[in-house]
């Protein structure tokens, strides 16, 4: 199904309306294999809507989205993508292992394979010691790490992370980015949204979103050069005002 | 203590309530609705009864009989019908009469009357006995010296058959429906609020697989509950029990499937656990009140009766009572089973569809 020449994630002229609210306007972007692609923008800029459309949780009003060659929503792609949000999305009354086992099984992972992968992802997020703990006994940061472990369990080719580091401490944020870089190095394509501008620097490429529109898309260095600014917050303001200037 | 802070808190509570129209309607209107239901259901105090009369005996004077018949007819909420002697039990089974008064045959003493009651509802049987005994006092067929005596026979149940025996079948259905509905609704609501639903929806698990998975998981506990109640009422409370356990579990299973999926479906319309609880007076209380537990469905006012015939719990009650008290087989309860199957299918469909609101692929 996957054509090797085709980028794993493509959006072409995607718009999405919720009633009279236009959440996305003519968004086009393409993400290459093994790339960490950042979606940067304030709350309400359309980051979550774009990620949800890419996951098949809804249809675009106009335009098309392709993930791993399938035109979304496409059921066949679902076993090859992973998803994590700022809500840890775990069954809090179950143990870490029970959570991983449930999500593993619905992806068709069973028996010894399931055990091996469980140990593998828990080692990656440094939680091997808490395998049998009920999730509601874990700290917020630990839950987020379990959540990432669940998203990785079925070895997705594309990982969608919607503000994965919101509400966790700076140290853990750093280790999350270490995980992401390790995964990208192993060939996983990562689309990550954030409104932390310091995280933006760590992406291979970025799209700046505002009011449902892509203001600019480039490498972090490229965006700074394009704007002539030294910091991202200033660069962001530059692109935002340029856009408003263009509208007038 | 600061009055300002207290008032600020009170104002905030009022604002929260006024933003939640449903809760407001619930606390203001629901009690009235429940009272209305209770009132109209309770308005006829004694259960309405139909008394069949067999009056073919030659030893019996028609004049004396018609005198008694007239007396019976004057009693409120009593219907009198004529019945053939060889069709007594059949008519009782089919519900054409709740009890039949048999006049003495040639071989019997002329003053011994027999009241044969259907017996599955103790209140109805009791009322029939009182009415007939009262009527018999003024009934002196050929020998004016002694008043007639009435012997009561039972088609189902018996003299020892009490209200508790009669209520046991209803409890199985009600508990099952109540718990399964609440638990599945809350469980599904949590899936949404904690975000696991999204995670499941982006996985290869399909909507129908999810619903059937829920169904299996919950059914285990619902059947366990039904068995527990069964063994408790039979083993500990020594309830009158005549029927087949397999049929009882079948009826419970069907009701459970309906209840789980009703729970899943309604969870879409609830934002939190409180709002799930709010469905109880709306969806469950009418079924509890009208489903036959408190008043025989047949003697409800017309509008309420028609409402009762829309409720799955009513049909489960009919079927469970037929199985437990009357010992009916599948042939005797098939119409109830058909309705329960239809309800279950309808609710599974509604549940699957309600999940699709968020996901674009099937």
pLDDT digits (tens, 9 = 90+) for B261-291: 899 899 888 888 888 888 888 888 888 888 8
Q: Are B47 and B123 in contact (CB under 8 A)?
A: yes
pLDDT at residue A59 in the model: 87
Yes or no, beta carbons of B359 and A91 under 8 Å apart? no
Contacts of B360 (CB under 8 A, 6+ apart): A56, A57, A58, A59, A72, A73
Give the count of alpha carbons within 13 A of A97, CB side only: 10
Q: Are A68 and A222 in contact (CB under 8 A)?
A: no
Q: What are phi and psi of B78, to 5 degrees?
A: -125, 125
Q: Are A95 and A101 in contact (CB under 8 A)?
A: no
Q: How confident is residue A115, by pLDDT bands cut at 50, 70 and 90?
A: very high
State the average pLDDT for chain A.
86
Q: Are B304 and B287 in contact (CB under 8 A)?
A: no
Whether pLDDT at B345 is above 90: yes
Tokens of B10: 């009170």
Tokens of A122: 């828990």
Q: How far is A147 from chain B (nearest CA, A)?
A: 10
Whether pLDDT at B157 is above 60: yes
Average pLDDT over residues B6-13: 76
A58, A72, A89 member nearest B195 (Cβ): A89
pLDDT at residue A230 in the model: 80
Q: How confident is the model over B44-76, as pLDDT tens digits?
A: 566 788 888 887 665 556 676 677 777 777 777
Whether pLDDT at B147 is above 70: no
Tokens of B167: 């209520």
Q: Are A37 and A206 in contact (CB under 8 A)?
A: yes
Q: Does domain A9-90+158-247 fall into CATH 1.20.1080.10?
A: no
Q: How confident is the model over B85-132, as pLDDT tens digits?
A: 888 888 888 888 888 888 766 666 666 778 888 888 877 888 888 888
Separation of CA B112 from chain center: 36
Tokens of B22: 């449903």
pLDDT at residue B361 in the model: 43
Q: How far is A55 from chain B (nearest CA, A)?
A: 7
Average pLDDT over residues A132-156: 90
DSSP state of A67: E
pLDDT at residue B360 in the model: 45
Q: Where are the alpha helices (DSSP H) in chain B?
A: 3-19, 21-42, 62-73, 88-93, 122-137, 163-194, 196-201, 207-231, 245-267, 273-277, 279, 285-290, 302-308, 312-324, 330-355
Q: How far is B263 from chain A (nearest CA, A)?
A: 19
DSSP E strands, chain A: 9-18, 21-31, 36-40, 62-67, 70-71, 81-85, 158-162, 189-194, 205-210, 213-218
Task: Name the residue ranges covered by the structural domains of chain B.
Answer: 49-154, 163-355
Q: How confident is residue B210, by pLDDT bands cut at 50, 70 and 90?
A: confident
Q: How far apart are CA A83 and CA A162, in angstroms?
A: 8
Per DSSP bridges, beta strands A36-40 and A189-194 are parallel
Segment of A141-155, B221-235, B297-311 carrying the highest mean pLDDT: A141-155
Closest CA to B199 of A10, A57, A96: A57
CA separation, residue A3 to residues A7, A44, A66, A191, B3 (Å): 8, 34, 12, 20, 70
Counting residues of chain A whose pLDDT is more than 70, the rounded percentage is: 96
A88 interface with B at CB cutoff 8 Å: yes
pLDDT at residue B362 in the model: 38
Q: Are A59 and A31 in contact (CB under 8 A)?
A: no
Average pLDDT over residues A77-101: 88
Tokens of B175: 């508990």
pLDDT at residue A36 in the model: 93
Spell out which residues of chain A touch residue B196, defining contact as CB-CB under 8 Å: 89-91
CATH superfamily, domain at B49-154: abc type-2 transporter like domain (3.40.1710.10)
Task: Name the residue ranges covered by the structural domains of chain A.
Answer: 9-90+158-247
Spell out which residues of chain B touch residue A58, defining contact as CB-CB under 8 Å: 358-360
pLDDT at residue A205 in the model: 92
Whether pLDDT at A55 is above 50: yes
Closest CA to B323 of B251, B257, B254: B251
End-to-end CA distance of chain A: 45
pLDDT at residue B359 in the model: 46
pLDDT at residue B278 in the model: 85
Q: How confident is the model over A194-218, as pLDDT tens digits?
A: 888 888 888 999 998 888 888 888 8
pLDDT at residue A161 in the model: 92
Best of B187, B204, B213, B359 to substitute, by most chain A Cβ atoms within 10 angstroms, is B204
Yes or no, beta carbons of A79 and B203 under 8 Å apart? yes
CA-based nearest residue in chain A for residue B190: A91
Whether pLDDT at B140 is above 60: no
B201 interface with A at CB cutoff 8 Å: yes
Q: How confident is the model over B306-336, as pLDDT tens digits?
A: 888 999 999 999 898 888 888 888 888 899 9
pLDDT at residue A35 in the model: 92
Average pLDDT over residues A7-29: 87
B235 interface with A at CB cutoff 8 Å: no
């Amino acid at each position: 199904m996957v054509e090797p020449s085709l980028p794993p994630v493509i959006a072409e002229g995607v718009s999405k309306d919720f009633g009279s609210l236009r959440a996305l306007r003519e968004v086009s972007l393409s993400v290459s294999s093994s790339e960490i692609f950042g979606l940067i923008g304030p709350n309400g800029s359309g980051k979550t809507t774009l990620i949800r459309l890419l996951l098949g949780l809804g249809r675009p009003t106009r335009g098309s989205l392709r993930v791993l060659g399938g035109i979304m929503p496409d059921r066949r792609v679902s076993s090859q993508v992973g998803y994590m949000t700022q809500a840890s999305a775990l069954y809090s009354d179950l143990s870490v292992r029970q959570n991983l086992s449930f999500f593993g099984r619905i992806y068709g992972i069973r028996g010894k394979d399931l055990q091996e992968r469980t140990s593998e992802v828990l080692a990656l997020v440094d939680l091997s010691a808490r395998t049998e703990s009920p999730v509601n006994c874990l700290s917020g940061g630990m839950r987020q790490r379990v959540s990432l472990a669940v998203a990785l369990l079925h070895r997705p080719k594309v990982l969608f992370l919607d503000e994965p580091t919101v509400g966790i401490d700076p140290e853990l944020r750093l280790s999350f980015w270490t995980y992401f870089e390790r995964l990208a190095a192993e060939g996983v394509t990562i689309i990550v949204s954030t409104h932390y501008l310091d995280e933006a620097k760590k992406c291979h490429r970025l799209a700046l979103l505002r009011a449902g529109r892509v203001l600019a898309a480039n490498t972090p260095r490229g965006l700074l050069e394009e704007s002539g600014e030294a910091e991202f917050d200033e660069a962001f303001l530059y692109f935002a005002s340029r856009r408003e200037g263009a509208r007038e | 203590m600061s009055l300002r802070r207290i008032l600020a808190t009170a104002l905030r509570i009022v604002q929260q309530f006024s933003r939640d129209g449903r809760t407001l309607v619930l606390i203001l209107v629901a009690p009235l609705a429940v009272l209305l239901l209770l009132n109209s259901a309770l308005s006829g105090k004694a259960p309405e009864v139909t008394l069949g009369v067999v009056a073919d005996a030659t030893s019996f004077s028609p004049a004396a009989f018609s005198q008694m018949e007239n007396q019976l007819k004057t009693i409120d909420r009593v219907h009198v019908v004529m019945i053939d002697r060889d069709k007594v039990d059949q008519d009782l089974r089919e519900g054409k009469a709740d009890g039949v008064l048999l006049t003495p045959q040639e071989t019997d003493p002329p003053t011994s009357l027999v009241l044969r009651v259907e017996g599955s509802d103790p209140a109805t049987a009791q009322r029939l006995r009182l009415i007939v005994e009262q009527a018999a006092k003024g009934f002196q067929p050929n020998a004016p010296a002694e008043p007639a005596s009435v012997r009561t026979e039972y088609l189902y149940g018996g003299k020892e058959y009490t209200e508790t025996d009669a209520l046991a079948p209803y409890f199985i259905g009600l508990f099952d429906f109540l718990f399964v509905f609440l638990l599945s609704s809350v469980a599904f609501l949590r899936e949404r609020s904690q975000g696991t639903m999204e995670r499941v929806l982006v996985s290869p698990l399909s909507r129908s697989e999810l619903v059937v998975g829920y169904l299996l998981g919950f059914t285990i506990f619902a059947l366990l509950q039904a068995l527990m109640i069964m063994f408790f009422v039979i083993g500990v409370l020594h309830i009158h029990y005549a029927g087949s356990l397999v049929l009882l579990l079948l009826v419970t299973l069907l009701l459970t499937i309906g209840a789980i999926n009703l729970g899943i479906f309604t969870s879409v319309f609830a934002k939190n656990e409180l709002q799930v609880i709010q469905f109880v007076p709306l969806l469950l209380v009418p079924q509890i009140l009208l489903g036959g537990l408190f008043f025989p469905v047949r003697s409800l006012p017309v509008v309420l009766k028609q409402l009762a015939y829309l409720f799955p719990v009513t049909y489960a009650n009919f079927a469970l009572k037929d199985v437990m008290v009357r010992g009916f087989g599948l042939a005797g309860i098939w119409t109830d089973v058909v309705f329960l199957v239809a309800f279950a299918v309808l609710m599974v469909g509604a549940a699957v569809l309600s999940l699709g609101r968020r996901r674009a692929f099937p």
